[in-house]
Amino acid sequence: QSVLTQPPSASGTPGQRVTISCSGSNSNIGTNTVNWYQQIPGTAPKLLIYSNNQRPSGVPDRFSGSKSGTSASLAISGLQSEDEADYYCAAWDDSLMGVFGTGTKVTVL
Amino acid sequence: EVQLVESGGGLVKPGGSLRLSCAASGFTFSDYSMNWVRQAPGKGLEWVSSISLSSNYIYYADSMKGRFTISRDNAKNSLYLQMNSLRAEDTAVYYCARTYCTNGVCYLFVLDSWGQGILVTVSS
């Protein structure tokens, strides 16, 4: 079950900045790094951000991540239509299990 | 090109068993930890299990402990998930995913390549 809490939805117009929050606890985000995944409906997830703020090669610099205490956030600047997708935060938990966030659906208006 | 291809899914009755396979290609399989992640219809992602390079370290989600077994065969470039005592709530698309590893260091729960997923339906 998800132990990382995200808002169910977020939206913006093209060009706007959208931020998604991810709230965890001391046993996961508080002590381990946060990763973010993008999932376009009907396709497999894609790694977007790892180690809190690192972008894999090929991921546009419009995507950025940050972490503070037991929370993290993903920012999408210069929102584009192709950014419409579900976004999940994830972290390893000290109870030796992986945990995903509840997911946030981003809509481009 | 990294490729992960799942197989073995399908319809199974409650209480039944199924074995998923994931065929890996395009990279040195034995250099990477591997994982299974699932997604129930219309729901979010759920981590299932992870296995280290040489199978020395294996982890499971609490709801799968004792019912699911992850394994790998590095000689065959393959990852497996044996699922027993299946329940309706195990119905999901199951993804095979590779852990990001570089210079001999694997980054816990950083899943940099995913298969296309395979559907498992548990129903009578």
Model confidence pLDDT, tens digit, residues B94-123 = 999 999 988 888 898 999 999 999 999 999
- Does position A2 have pLDDT exceeding 70, yes or no? no
Model confidence pLDDT, tens digit, residues B25-66 = 999 999 999 999 999 999 999 999 999 999 999 999 999 999
Q: In B, which residues are within 8 Å of A47 by CB distance?
A: 100, 110-112
- CB atoms B100 and A50 under 8 Å: yes
SS3 A78: coil
Q: B80 phi and psi, to 5 degrees?
A: -130, 155
- CB atoms B46 and A100 under 8 Å: yes
Look-up of token digits 């591997």: B34
Q: Would you call B68 an interface residue with chain A, using a CB distance cutoff of 8 Å?
A: no
Residue B21 CB neighbour total at 10 angstroms:
17
- CB atoms B47 and A88 under 8 Å: no
CA distance B44 to chain A (A): 6
